[in-house]
Structure 1
C-alpha cells in the first residue's frame, strides 16, 4: 500500500526521504492557492523563483512578474500574491514569474530530489486526490510554513489529503493533522481565523483572499512542476 507523510516545515525537509516520491508543496495562504487559481484561469506557465531580483529579470522577457514579501506586494512588481487577481481569465495565455516569502522557497527545495512536484490547495483537493490514487508513488506533503515555522493551515491540508486518500501512514504529523481536520474540517474558515498567518493577512485587509483560499474543490486541476515551470496536467 502507498504511504503519505507530512513535513511541517521546509527547514525539516532533510529529515525526509524524497527519492521516488511525489512531493506536494502547499502554501494555503497564499502561494499554492494563487498558482492553482492562475493556471486554472488560463495562465500558461508559472516559473517559481526564490529571489526578488532574479524574478525581476523576467520582466525584460515580456513576462508578468508577481512578487510578495511579508504578505505585501513587492515594489516594482506587476502582481502580488492574491488568487483573486487572476479570476475571469484576466491573464489568460500569459507567462508569470513568481516569488513569495515561503511557497517558492519550498518548491525550490522539493525539486532537487523528488520524482514529481505537485502544488496543493483546498481549491483543487479532489482533483489532486484522484490523480494520486492513480499514481504508483508514495507521497510527501511539504508545508511551506512561515519563515521556517510551523503553521496550521498548510498542515491541515495534509490532514485533509490523508483523510481523502485513506492510505497507510506511520507519520505522527499526518496522524495529528488528519485527526484535527476531522474535528474542524466542517468549519475551516471559522477555525483558521485564529491562525497566525490569517491574522497577518487580516492586518493587510485581505480577508477576501482568506475566504477564497478555503473554498474547497473549485478547480478540477492538477498542477505540476515541469522543466519549463508550473503547468496544468492535461
Structure 2
C-alpha cells in the first residue's frame, strides 16, 4: 500500500483528491479547529459542526450550547462564536456545543462526505496529532479550510508543520506538501510575526482579538484529538 501525504490548500480543490481511504485532517487555525481542540480537551462531551447559522436553532431544545460565527464575529443571539476563550472547562465541560463557522465547519462537511476518517488539527495538539498519525497505516490529507474557498497563510503553515514531522513516514508526498513545509520553515522562528502578513490576521485585528490569535499559535498545550463520529466531534480514544 502506497501511503500518500498530501496538502489540499483550499476546500475548492478537494474534489481533485481521492480521500475514500484517507484520514483527513481539517485545519482552520484562526480559530475554529483551535477552539474545537481546546473545547474537547477541556471536557466538552461533543461538538456538532453544522453548515448554516439556522441549523443551530434546531438543537436549542436539547439544551446544547449554540455557537455561531460569521466573518469573525459572534452571530447575535447565540451563546458564543469560535473564540478559544469560550471553550474553557467552566463553560463546556460535560456539555455539547453546536457550532457553525465561516470556513471550518464547511470543510468538515465536505471531508466527511468521502473520507475514511476525519480528525481535527491545530498547533494546540500538533504533537499528539502527529504521533497518532504516524501509527496509522493510512494515507493522510491535510485539508486547509482557507477563507471562503481561497488559500490562506495560517492554515498552510500548520499543514507545513505537520509535513515536517510526518514526511519520512510516507512513500509519496505532493508539491503542496513541499510548499507548505517551506513556508513553515521560513515562519517558525516568529510564527506570529509571519502570520501578521496574512489577510485573515488583518481581518481579525479589526475585531480586536489579538489574544485569540496568540492563543491559537501555542504549541502542544492539548492532548485531545477530536474525531468526527457521525455528526459529532468527540475525543479520539487511543
Common fold by TM > 0.5: yes
1:205 is aligned to 2:208 = yes
1:194 is aligned to 2:178 = no
The 8 Å contact of residues 26 and 108 in structure 2, kept in 1 or not, is answered as yes
Structure 1, unaligned runs of 5 or more: none
User: Which deviations, in whole Å up to 9, do the C-alpha atoms of 1:10-32 show, x marking residues without a partner?
Assistant: 11111111110000000000100
1: CA distance, partners of 2:63 / 2:225: 26
Cα 1:228/1:146, change in 2 over 3 Å: closer
The 8 Å contact of residues 18 and 113 in structure 1, kept in 2 or not, is answered as yes
The residue aligned with 1:22 is 23
Q: TM-score, normalised by structure 1?
A: 0.97
Shift of 1:69: 0.3
Shift of 1:185: 1.0
Question: Residues 45-194 of structure 1: matches in 2 within 5 Å?
Answer: 45-166=46-167, 167-194=170-197
The residue aligned with 1:7 is 8
Shift of 1:170: 3.6
1:217 is aligned to 2:220 = yes
Structure 2, unaligned runs of 5 or more: none
The 8 Å contact of residues 73 and 80 in structure 1, kept in 2 or not, is answered as yes
The 8 Å contact of residues 38 and 86 in structure 1, kept in 2 or not, is answered as yes
Shift of 1:2: 2.7
SS of 1:217 mapped into structure 2: coil
1: CA distance, partners of 2:123 / 2:220: 6
1: CA distance, partners of 2:130 / 2:3: 13
2: CA distance, partners of 1:30 / 1:71: 9
User: Which deviations, in whole Å up to 9, do the C-alpha atoms of 1:100-146 show, x marking residues without a partner?
Assistant: 00000000000011000000101000000011011011000110000
Moved over 6 A (4+): none
Shift of 1:88: 3.9
Shift of 1:89: 3.7
Q: TM-score, normalised by structure 2?
A: 0.95
Shift of 1:87: 2.1
The residue aligned with 1:33 is 34
RMSD: 1.1
The 8 Å contact of residues 49 and 231 in structure 2, kept in 1 or not, is answered as no
